[in-house]
Amino acid sequence: MPREVFANVSKSHGVGIFTLAETLSVYPENADLVDRPECFQTCEGVCNNTCTFDGRKYSEVAGLTNEISLSNMESILCLPTDIYQGAENILTHEFAHLVHMYMNDTWKDKIMAAYQKAKSNKLWRQHSYAMENEYEYFAVAAESFFHDIIRKDAKSTGGMNICKNQRICSDEMKARQFLRRHDPGIFYCLSYAFTDDRSWRISGLKPCMR
């Protein structure tokens, strides 16, 4: 990671872990997101702040990033209660959001340009979670860059982790090579942000880190 990116991210509140039973509102940064009785099964009006942009309750999500990057313990340890069943490293996804948030405006503009180009050229599956906005685009691409998302549903991944013959990329280097060929714009943003343009350095990250 470049010195500038590291220095900027160090200004955040860092990374935190919560259990699904606790919910992410156990952290003070998210106290205002807790669900309320009057907001049961609704995101309308005054209940808008209890829901994500895609209509999920914050009290039920597996991770979130604002000043702090959060992931649930069940996903990190791939416990039987992991809602992703060991197929996705949510902490990588959320930390990518944190990195994106604290990058300078020049790099944010580059990420946006890559997203707009990918969308207009239909590089990835349209209307997928990965293409919902530039933030999810960067975060899902980061998971693919580190080869720690092995979900097969393109509706979520946009196909970013599918190398050829509709198969999941077999390792981290092949995943990076695929991103570099298919979407060089986001690849170079990821390579800079996470490896300081040393993309041959393998992280060894996995969907399950235990």
**3 lies in some domain:** no
**139 lies in some domain:** yes
State how beta strands 63-65 and 69-72 pair.
Answer: antiparallel
Q: What is the pLDDT of residue 208?
A: 80
Enter the pTM of the model: 0.92
Of 31, 27, 3, 32, give the one whose Cα is nearest residue 15: 27
**81 lies in some domain:** no
Read out DSSP for 7-60?
Answer: HHHTTS--EEEE-TTT-GGGSGGGGGG---GGGTT--SGGGGGGB-TTS-BGGG
**7 lies in some domain:** no
**99 lies in some domain:** yes
Q: What is the pLDDT of residue 210?
A: 65
Compute mean pLDDT per 10 residues along the chain, 210 residues long, and list them.
Answer: 96 96 93 92 94 91 95 92 91 97 97 98 95 97 96 92 90 97 98 97 85
Q: What is the pLDDT of residue 166?
A: 84
Cα dist. 24→72, 96, 137 in Å? 8, 18, 23
**66 lies in some domain:** no
For residues 17 and 70, is the Cβ–Cβ distance under 8 A? yes
Average pLDDT over the chain reads 94
Place of tokens 């509102």: 25
For residues 181 and 160, is the Cβ–Cβ distance under 8 A? no
Report the number of distinct structural domains present in the chain: 1
Q: What pLDDT, in 10s, does the model give residues 118-138? A: 999 999 999 999 999 999 999
Buried b (16+ CB within 10 A) or exposed e, 37-52: eebeeeeeeebeebbe
Place of tokens 């069943």: 85
**155 lies in some domain:** yes
Q: What is the pLDDT of residue 150?
A: 92
**108 lies in some domain:** yes
DSSP character at residue 159: T
Radius of gyration of the chain (CA): 17
Q: What is the pLDDT of residue 187?
A: 99
Q: Which domain holds residue 190?
A: 86-195
Of 152, 111, 136, give the one whose Cα is nearest residue 54: 136
